Amino acid sequence: MKITFYSIVSLLLLVTASVAQQVPSVEENIPYLVTFGKAGSKSWGDPDFSQTRYFVIPRYQKLPVYIRIFDPETSGNNDEKKEEYNTKTQFSVFGGKGCFSTAQANQAKNNYKSGNLLYTKTFGGDALFDQEWYTFGPFNPTEGEYIDTYGGYVFKIIAEGITGDDGNLYRYFLSSSPTENKPIEGGNSFTFQYTFRFDDNMSNLAHIYPYVGENVFYVKIANFDFDDGADINIVSVVKKKEFSKASGDNVWTSSEHKIVPDEKKTVLDVQFIKNKKIPVKNNNVSLYVQNQDGDRLPIYTVPIGGAPSSRSFLQLDKGAKVKVKKEQ
């Protein structure tokens, strides 16, 4: 598997008015990221016990920035207990040359810890950090790796379950303050594989926003351990409803979807609709999106250019032709 970044994101510059610092974001309607200890069972929804995420700091940001973590320990009400809590999670921040641009930097079994290690801390079961914020930093924006197509400096944070078998549920916030969650105008965050906890509320609709570059002709949406607990629906600027295949317990499932010209240089809204006939609680899942060449697409916390608002949509009749219907 290759992971590249396209000329994406000259379009990323359109997001300079956003305040996309909370991860998961309000737009995604996802309560927590999740990472299990490396002795955990993959059937609990984490296929590799490690999660990499990137933060983009706009080039004009001069003041220090901070990466804050909510509930970094594994022993409280938010976390998922196997038997007795025994898990330690290491959070590490990287910057500098190769942090993002190094080939294979985003693959969990290759050089994913590329770049300069700026800060690391391991959290176990210390109740002091239960449902509290811990701050990494300060970081000078120029300590990140400057990526011109992203319009700024990129930092990488890796959460890794180094011992134990429990699930650590947590959030991030990119802040201009060490003590408060103060967003940085023009900042954003993205990942190439998303492992998260669904909300138990059966009525809540969750979203992710992969960016489709100009050279993408089709996408493959691969997902792990959905437990048949949700339907996956794709919305774009031209599609209102196109279903993608959801996985069962402890298995990867994928489906492919054609990209039409109007969908290039936009985000898809991949929606997760809870299956009310199979009410699954504490459902952790993992997901990535890749193109026809096996390159993974960046999944943004806040959609570049805004969430799709369909001008028209494709309706697929079973075994038949594609029809285009205009929305009224």
Q: Choose between 258 and 112: higher pLDDT.
A: 258
Check the CA dihedral 172-175-180-185 and report its sign: negative
Phi, then psi, of 12 in degrees rounded to 5: -60, -25
- Alpha-carbon distance of 71 to 129, in angstroms, equals 6
Which residues form the domain of 276? 7-326
Within-domain flag for 103 = yes
- Mean pLDDT, the chain, rounded, equals 86
Mean pLDDT of 109-121: 87
* 194, part of any domain: yes
Angle ∠(57,61,65) on CA atoms, nearest 5: 65
Average pLDDT estimate for 259-280: 89
- Per DSSP, the three-state class of 17 is helix
Average pLDDT over residues 214-228: 93
Q: Which two tokens stand for residue 116?
A: 């300069």
Q: Is residue 2, in this structure, part of any structural domain at all?
A: no
**For the chain, how many structural domains are there in total?**
1
What is the b/e burial string over 179-215, where b = at least 16 CB atoms within 10 angstroms of the residue's CB? eebebbebbbbbbbbbbbbbbeeeeeebbbbbbbbee
* pTM of the entire predicted model: 0.87
In a domain, 1, yes or no: no
Range of lowest pLDDT (117-121, 141-145, 199-203): 199-203
Q: Within a domain: residue 226?
A: yes
Q: pLDDT exceeding 90 applies to what percent of the chain?
A: 71
- The pLDDT, as a whole number, for residue 235 is 95
Least confident of 3-17, 120-134, 268-282: 3-17
- Look at residue 309 in the predicted model and tell me its pLDDT: 64
pLDDT at residue 240, as a whole number = 86
Average pLDDT over residues 22-32: 93
Find, among 284, 86, 301, the residue nearest to 169 by Cα.
Answer: 284
Whether residue 33 is contained in a domain is answered as yes
- Asked if the model's pLDDT at residue 318 lies above 80, the reply is no
pLDDT of residue 229: 75
**CA-CA distance, 253 to 118, in Å (whole number)?**
36
Quote the pLDDT of residue 277: 77
Q: Which residue has the tokens 């298995």?
A: 251
In a domain, 192, yes or no: yes
Residue 282 DSSP symbol: S
CA distance 175 to 64: 9
pLDDT at 209: 96
Whether 183 and 176 have beta carbons less than 8 Å apart is answered as: yes
Report the C-alpha gap between 198 and 241 in whole angstroms.
21
Average pLDDT over every residue of 128-151: 95
Residue 104 lies in a domain: yes
